[in-house]
Structure 1
């Protein structure tokens, strides 16, 4: 009979480690949401999470790793909430517009994200690997959504979904930066309109009207 104990014991510690990392990252997010990323310390994270400081440092050896871990957690939670990686997800510009409404919590996370983008070029900084993975994930999600919108007749059939997905990702990053320096900017409206233009939605709707049979003539 095959002994399965080693496999089970391997899964156990891994699962506990993942739960502990999420517990710590959730605490960092709460601190960022409450006061911004600048004042986050390992001592505060330990107090907020209920995890001893040496254990915090075991999972995240520096403050930079803590902040990157928090953004990774925020991305996962956002993807879960929006269902963006689900099989039945859709690319709705109005959903993007609503998601980008301004607010103190969202802006603090955006400031953290932009700070990490500034650090990404520093050799061996954890932000570099995080941002590469984040961009790849974003492009993968949007590429699938653009292809689905093409199938629905709401995106130009001649577009390359991967290229459009990269353009949407760049658009959202650029608008996030602009919003930090222009509080009057309607970021949601700008992104929603930009996505419609990038996928050729207005062109597709106009074509559908032209192709529709005349009614009442």
Structure 2
């Protein structure tokens, strides 16, 4: 690859990242149905056809935004490799991280609610995401039980589903309360009461 081609490739990646960032903000502000590709293009300083060069449809842009968010969170938290109590601790860390990025929390909350409709382009994404999140959290509770760290009477399946529901409910409270809800603190207190070890 020539130096010129390398610069062009880097410039294209930077523009793609800018589009994702602006789309994330717009989807969070207006939801998927209310967001405009033309407005996103304008915010990025490119034409509408220029945006379509990177993302040919609104649906492809939304899915890229959602996948990008999941990839970044997954790498930051290493949730695929964390086990038992460590996995649960990292979920509380994720809540603390989310408290620093309102736009991403808005995006998730708005689009997740819209995506309950079967004809929404992100419906399948969120079905998979919730299935995976609940399964991973249930597994973490089972591992905590196997480590001897889970209090007697705590059912890993119910606890996993409840923790994911608590995380999402706290996000809505945090958004509506203008950041007053301590999402990470509430999550840590909830999990701490279920464990026999420091959390």
Q: Structure 2 length normalisation: TM-score?
A: 0.70
Evaluate the alpha carbon distance shift between residue 144 and residue 122 of structure 1 in structure 2; reply closer, same or farther with a 3 A threshold.
closer
Mark the CA change 1:104 to 1:169 in structure 2 (over 3 Å): closer, same or farther. closer
Cα drift, residue 135 of structure 1: 0.5
CA RMSD, Structure 1 to Structure 2 (Å)? 3.3
Q: Equivalent residues in 2 for 1:35-46 (5 A)?
A: 37-38=29-30, 41=37, 43=41
Q: Which runs of 5+ in 1 are unaligned?
A: 1-19, 206-217
More divergent stretch after superposition (71-80 vs 102-111):
102-111
2:5 matched residue in structure 1:
none
**Stretches of structure 2 lacking an aligned partner (at least 5 in a row):** 1-11
For 1:103 and 1:123, the matched residues in 2 are separated by 27
Which residues in structure 2 correspond to 1:68-87 (within 5 Å)?
68-86=63-81
Distance 1:83 1:98, change over 3 A: closer
Residue 192 of structure 2 is matched in structure 1 by 196
| Alpha-carbon offset, residue 159 of structure 1 | 3.6
Partner of 2:51: 53
Task: Say whether the 8 Å CA contact 1:98–1:188 is kept in structure 2.
Answer: yes
Conserved in 2, the CA contact under 8 Å of 1:46 and 1:52?
Answer: no
Greater relative contact order structure (CA < 8 Å, 6+ sep): 2
- Contact 1:32–1:40 at 8 Å: present in 2 too? no
Deviation at 1:185, TM superposition (A): 1.2
Question: Are positions 1:118 and 2:113 aligned together?
Answer: yes
Match of 2:7 in 1: none
Taking the aligned partners of 1:87 and 1:105, their CA distance within structure 2 comes to 23
What is residue 150 of structure 1 aligned with on the other side? 145
Residue 178 of structure 2 is aligned to residue 187 of structure 1: no
For 2:153 and 2:92, the matched residues in 1 are separated by 25
CA contact (8 A) 2:170 2:183 kept: yes
Counterpart Cα distance in 2 of 1:75 and 1:103: 13
1-structure distance, mates of 2:51, 2:60: 14
| Corresponding residue pairs, total | 174
- Cα distance in 1 for partners of 2:18, 2:80 equals 25
Greater CA radius of gyration, 1 or 2?
Answer: 1
CA deviation profile, 1:69-128 (whole Å, cap 9, x unmatched):
3122211221122111116572344x4444323778611101011111221233411232
